[in-house]
């Protein structure tokens, strides 16, 4: 009996000495965005002209650039903001700013996306800054897109969320109907975007946004892009085709870097 008790005691002692199991770390979507943003900033070098994106993910990148400037780890940076919101953020962080008129070629742009397909085509503009984002990111030598894994889709529009189109306010219903009819085979529904007060959302450029909701694929994206831009009154759309050179995806299992 004594031996049996002794074995049991030894077993219990061994269990008590085992290190406790650490609870799994659950990362929020914002944590993943921050991880991707910080990874993207590793591409930044002193002396660069940078395109500064807009949105919840890009905000982390701009914060990090400001932090590295304060620490002296980056110097002689010039930022080109893609929205008034980013402009205000960058100025508050002491990031020197300029524009495309003064710097028509940009070394690197960092921005988020609303959707990323397997070919690194993007949907952007659900934050309302698609026109300035496309102007800036179309002028850069390298465009690093940062997302969390929830933004990956099989095809653009695949999330069921908005594909934004910036339009002039004049006769917006006429333009919205044209857009909806253009993609009727894709089950398109076109809706004017409203702000929190129920009034039409107005971009930094004084325009409206019509959001397209699709039930099926658009087909050839370049043909779809050209068709949208041929409609009088359309300013720009939120498909960023063949523009991203690198996409950084943050997920529960780590970071994935995808290059063209």
Task: Cite the active site residues.
Answer: 133
State the Cα–Cα distance between residues 254 and 240, nearest whole angstrom.
25
Quickly list DSSP for 177-190: HHHHHHTGGGT-EE
Q: How far from chain centre, in Å, is Cα 45?
A: 21
Q: Which helix (H) or strand (E) holds 164?
A: strand 163-167
Q: Do residues 213 and 188 lie in contact, with contact meaning Cβ atoms separated by under 8 Å?
A: yes
Quote the tokens at residue 118: 């397997």
- First-to-last alpha carbon distance for the chain, in angstroms, is 71
Cα 88 to Cα 62, 80, 107, 135, distances in angstroms: 11, 12, 22, 19
State the Cα–Cα distance between residues 5 and 26, nearest whole angstrom.
41
């Amino acid at each position: 009996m004594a031996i049996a008790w002794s074995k049991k005691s030894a077993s219990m002692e061994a269990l008590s000495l085992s290190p406790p199991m650490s609870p799994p770390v659950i990362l929020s979507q914002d944590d993943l965005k921050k991880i991707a943003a910080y990874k993207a900033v590793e591409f930044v070098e002193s002396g660069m002209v940078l395109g500064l994106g807009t949105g919840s993910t890009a905000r982390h990148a701009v914060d990090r650039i400001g932090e590295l400037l304060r620490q002296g780890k980056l110097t002689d940076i010039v930022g080109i903001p893609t929205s008034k919101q980013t402009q205000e953020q960058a100025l508050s962080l002491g990031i020197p700013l300029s524009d495309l008129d003064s710097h028509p070629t940009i070394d690197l742009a960092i921005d988020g996306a609303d959707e990323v397909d397997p070919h690194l085509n993007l949907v952007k503009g659900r934050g309302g800054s698609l026109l300035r984002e496309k102007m800036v990111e179309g002028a850069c030598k390298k465009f690093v897109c940062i997302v969390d894994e929830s933004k990956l889709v099989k095809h653009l529009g695949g999330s069921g969320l908005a594909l934004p189109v910036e339009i002039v306010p004049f006769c917006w219903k006429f333009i919205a109907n044209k857009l909806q009819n253009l993609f009727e085979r894709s089950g398109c529904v076109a809706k004017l975007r409203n702000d929190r007060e129920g009034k039409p959302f107005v971009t930094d450029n004084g325009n409206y946004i019509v959001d397209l909701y699709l039930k099926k694929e658009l087909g050839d994206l370049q043909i779809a892009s050209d068709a949208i831009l041929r409609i009088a009154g359309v300013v720009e759309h939120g498909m960023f085709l063949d523009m991203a050179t690198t996409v950084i995806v943050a997920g529960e299992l780590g970071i994935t870097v995808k290059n063209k």
